Amino acid sequence: MQTLVVPLLPLFPRLLSTSPATAAWLVTATLVAGAVSAPVLGRLGDMYGKRRMLLIALVLITLGSLLGAVSPGIEVLLAARVLQGVSLGVVPLGLSIMRDELPADRVSSGVGLMSSSLGIGGAVGLPLTGLVAQNLHWRWLFLGAAVFAGGLILLVRRLVPESPLRTGGRFDLPGAAGLSAALVCLLLAVSKGSEWGWSSARVLGLLIAAVPVFAVWGVLQLRTQGPLVDLRVSARPAVLWTNLATILVGFAMFASFMVSTQILQAAPATGYGFGLSLVLSGVAMLPMGAAMTVFSPASARLSHRRGPRTTLVVGALVLTVGNLGFALLPGNLALIILATTVIAIGAALAYSALPLLIMRAVPPTETAAANSLNTLMRQLGTSSCTAVIAAVSTALTIRAGGTVQPSAAAYMVIFLAAAGAALLATLIAALTPAPATPGALPGDGPSTDDRRLELGAAQR
C-alpha cells in the first residue's frame, strides 16, 4: 500500500489530467492517514479487541482499493489512498496479537517476520507496480489490492483468535484529535518542504503550529485517565531511546527504497545510471525483499540467544555498511544489487528487534498502543528521508540527455546521510539501558544487562 503508486507518479498527471504536485498527494495522503490511524487503531485494539480492529482496518483497506479501481478522477483517487493508509495500523495490531496468542517459543520469529513485512511489502510493491502498469491498466493495481485485502478478511476471521487482554475505559477522543492535528502539521511540512519551499509561509506555518499543538496534546495526555498514548510509559529510557533509534533506522532503510530505482532507470549519460526499464529496475529490487524475508527468522534466533538489543546493534551496523557501499555509486549492476541486499539484511535485523524491545519495556495491556507509536516513529524516519532526498536531489543537479537529473554527488550525500543515521542508531541502541519492567516476552533470551540485573536481585 505504501509503494503501490510510487512508480506511476510520473504518469498520473497525464492519465488523470492533473498536475505533478497534485499527483504527489497520492503518496502524501497515504502517509498522513497511516500516521494518524496507527496510534488510534492501536489504542482501540487494546480497549475493544485487537482482532476486531484488525478486521475493521482490512475492511477500510478493501473499500479504499475498490474505490481506487473505479475512481473517475484524482479527487476520488486521493480519498481511496487515504483509506488505504489505514494499512499502517495493521502491523502493530498483528504484532500485539502474536504476543498474546503465539506459543512462547514462536513469539520472536513471528514478531520479527511481521515487523519486517513493512520492508518486504515495499520491496515487492515496486516491481509488481511496474509489471502491472506496463502490461495492464493501472486500475488493476487497486482491484488486485481489493481482492487480496478481501481474502485477508476471510483468513483473519477463520484463523486469528481474539486476544482476551483488554484495558477498558473510554477512548481518548480529544487526544486522538490533538495527535492527528499535530501529525498533519508536521508530516505535511516535512513531505512537502521541497515542493513548497522550506522557507515558504506554508511550511514554516505548519512547523510552527506543530510545536504548540504537540505541547498542548502532551499536557492533556498527562492529565487524562486512559490516554491515547501513555507518555509516562513512553518516557521510560528503554522506550524513549528505542523510538528515537527507530526514526534513524527508518531513515537509513528508506534511502535505498526511494533512490535505487531512480539510479537503475537513469540514463548512462548521467555517469551513474543503467538505463533499465520500469519492470527490470523493479526486478533488480527483488533480492531486497527476499533478503528481508530470509533474515527475519535469523533475527529472531539472534534475539533469543543474545537479546533484541544486540540484534538491533548488529542490524544498524549492517545498515551503515550497506549505505556506505552505496555512497560509492559502484558502476556495476551486481554491486548495486549487493548494496541494496546488504541494506535489506540490516533493515530485517533492526526492524525485527525494535518491536521486541518495545514489548519488553511496556505492560502487556499497552502492547498495541506502544507498537503503534513505534510504527509511527518508523513513518517519521521514512518521511524525513523522503524530505532529505527531495531537497538534495533538487539542489545538486546535472544536465544529461537534454534533461535535468540529480548529480552523482547528490546520491552520495543521500547515502552518507543514511549511513550516518544508521551509525547514530547503533550508538543509541548500544547505550540504551535494559527495561526494568515485567513486560519481557516469554521465550526471549535475556540480554547481558538482563542477566546482570537478575543476578543482582538473586544476591540481594
DSSP label at 47? H
Quote the number of domains for the chain.
2
The answer to whether residues 208 and 233 belong to one domain is no
Q: Which residue has the higher pLDDT, 244 or 434?
A: 244
Top-confidence range, 119-123, 131-135, 245-249, 329-333: 245-249
Q: What is the pTM of this model?
A: 0.81
Chain centroid to Cα 299, Å, comes to 18
Number of CB atoms found within 10 A of residue 16's CB: 18
Give tens-digit pLDDT for 190-229: 877 777 888 899 999 999 999 999 999 999 988 888 788 8
Percent of the chain past pLDDT 70, that is, above it, reads 93
pLDDT for res 316: 95
Degrees, nearest 5: CA angle 431-432-436: 135
Q: Is the pLDDT of residue 445 over 70?
A: no
Q: Which residue has the higher pLDDT, 88 or 219?
A: 219
Give tens-digit pLDDT for 412-442: 999 999 999 999 999 999 998 876 544 555 4
Percent of the chain past pLDDT 90, that is, above it, reads 28
Q: At what angle do helices 367-395 and 408-431 cross, to 10 degrees?
A: 150
The amino acid sitting at 55 is L
Tell me the CA distances in angstroms from 64 to 8, 79, 121, 133, 341, one per residue in order.
18, 7, 18, 19, 32
The amino acid sitting at 420 is G
Query: Would you say 336 and 263 are in contact if contact means Cβ atoms under 8 Å apart?
Result: yes
C-alpha cell at 130: 511496474
Q: Is the pLDDT of residue 323 over 90?
A: yes
**Residue 147 falls inside a structural domain:** yes
Number of CB atoms found within 10 A of residue 332's CB: 9
Domain-ending residue, one of 227, 246, 261: 227
Average pLDDT over residues 63-81: 93
The residue range of the domain holding 202 is: 172-227
Asked which of 124-133, 381-390, 392-401 is least confident by mean pLDDT, the reply is: 124-133
**Residue 455 falls inside a structural domain:** no
Q: Is the pLDDT of residue 394 over 70?
A: yes
The amino acid sitting at 426 is T
**Residue 341 falls inside a structural domain:** yes
Asked which of 7-16, 62-71, 91-100, 323-332 is least confident by mean pLDDT, the reply is: 7-16
The closest alpha carbon to 449, from 364, 362, 361, belongs to 361
The answer to whether residues 153 and 177 belong to one domain is no
Residue 400 parent element (H or E): strand 397-400
Degrees, nearest 5: CA angle 164-120-151: 55
Query: Would you say 323 and 343 are in contact if contact means Cβ atoms under 8 Å apart?
Result: yes
Q: Is the pLDDT of residue 65 over 90?
A: yes
String of b and e for 154-164 (b: at least 16 CB within 10 Å)?
A: eebeeebeebe
**Residue 459 falls inside a structural domain:** no
The answer to whether residues 99 and 185 belong to one domain is no
**Residue 39 falls inside a structural domain:** yes
C-alpha cell at 439: 513486560
Residue found by looking up cell 544498524 in the block: 316
Handedness of CA 312, 316, 317, 322 (dihedral sign): positive
Average pLDDT, rounded, for the chain? 83
Q: Which residue has the higher pLDDT, 301 or 214?
A: 214
Q: Is the pLDDT of residue 455 over 60?
A: no
The answer to whether residues 46 and 179 belong to one domain is no
**Residue 124 falls inside a structural domain:** yes
pLDDT for res 276: 83
The answer to whether residues 68 and 11 belong to one domain is yes
The answer to whether residues 206 and 166 belong to one domain is no
The answer to whether residues 184 and 259 belong to one domain is no
The answer to whether residues 218 and 262 belong to one domain is no
Give tens-digit pLDDT for 101-114: 888 778 877 877 78
**Residue 71 falls inside a structural domain:** yes
Q: Which residue has the higher pLDDT, 182 or 128?
A: 182
**Strand, helix or coil at 403?**
strand
Degrees, nearest 5: CA angle 210-215-220: 125
pLDDT for res 314: 94
Q: At what angle do helices 173-196 and 25-48 cross, to 10 degrees?
A: 160
Q: What CATH number is associated with residue 13? A: 1.20.1250.20
Asked which of 68-77, 332-341, 435-444, 447-456 is least confident by mean pLDDT, the reply is: 447-456
Asked which of 114-118, 215-219, 267-271, 316-320 is least confident by mean pLDDT, the reply is: 114-118
**Residue 1 falls inside a structural domain:** no
The answer to whether residues 275 and 366 belong to one domain is yes
Rounded Cα–Cα distance for residues 403 and 405 (Å):
6
Give tens-digit pLDDT for 135-163: 778 888 899 999 999 999 999 999 999 88
Average pLDDT over residues 169-195: 84
Q: Is the pLDDT of residue 64 over 90?
A: yes
Residue 145 parent element (H or E): helix 139-159
The answer to whether residues 297 and 422 belong to one domain is yes
The answer to whether residues 378 and 332 belong to one domain is yes
Q: Exposed, middle or buried: residue 59 (CB in 10 Å: 0-12, 13-18, 19+)? A: middle
pLDDT for res 451: 40
Domain-ending residue, one of 227, 255, 272: 227
Number of CB atoms found within 10 A of residue 189's CB: 23
Rounded Cα–Cα distance for residues 163 and 96 (Å):
9
Domain-ending residue, one of 206, 227, 248: 227
Number of CB atoms found within 10 A of residue 252's CB: 32
Asked which of 2-16, 66-80, 226-240, 414-428 is least confident by mean pLDDT, the reply is: 2-16
The answer to whether residues 277 and 210 belong to one domain is no
- E strands along 187-293, which residues? none
